[in-house]
Amino acid sequence: MAAFEISVNGKPRFVEEDVKAITIVADRVPDLTLGGEIEKVYLHVGIGEAGEYQYLGGDLRPGDEISIRVLTDDEIPTGTTSFPTSCSFCGSDHFHISSLTGGPQVAICDGCLQVFHAVIIQGARLPLGASIRDQGPDQCDFCHKAPPEVPGLLVRNSAAICPECLRACLDLITEQ
Ligand SMILES: [Zn+2]
Ligand SMILES: [Zn+2]
């Protein structure tokens, strides 16, 4: 099966077989730091069965160039998948969750998305081992922004996500 290599500004993000859809979306999201709205551009790749794996890069900027290359069989790296197969926040593997959203190094499952969303929106209690950090040096693993550029980070198992990326991930899984 053909594999696709997706690069941003000449730097490969990942190589995957079984790519179902590649979407680039501009979305206006609430700017939780300064108020109002900001525009974010997301690169979204659906992999495997519908909703199974989603890659989401929220760090695209004007001028960025995305290239997609179809690889020949002998260019495909053997035995390695660049996509995480378990949730970086709770460790659940993909056999126990319905969807995993993430990038090459980090992924979040639907369960963690719901729990973190409840923390932010309803002030629910943080899950065991999780914390909210509003100071560096941590940065969001999805958009690579750090406080104070984002209002805070939800951190668990040394994986971090900001509220904007959390919302974008939730939007993705509820669209399915
Ligand atoms: Zn999880
Ligand atoms: Zn983020």
Domain extent listing, the chain: 3-175
Ligand 2 centroid, distance to 1 Cα (angstroms): 32
Predicted TM-score (pTM) above 0.75: no
**Parallel, antiparallel, or unpaired for β 153-156 and 159-161?**
antiparallel
Closest CA to 131 of 149, 147, 109, 143: 147
18-29, pLDDT tens digit by residue? 888 888 888 776
Plot region of 43 (φ>0 → left; ψ -120 to 50 → alpha; else → beta): beta
Low-confidence ranges of the chain (pLDDT < 70): 29-34, 50-51, 77-83, 94-96, 104, 175-176
Ligand 1 centroid, distance to 96 Cα (angstroms): 10
CA distances to 13, 58, 117, 120, 159 from 124, rounded to whole Å, are 34, 26, 9, 7, 20
Ligand 1 centroid, distance to 115 Cα (angstroms): 9
CA of 113, nearest ligand number: 1
CA of 142, nearest ligand number: 2
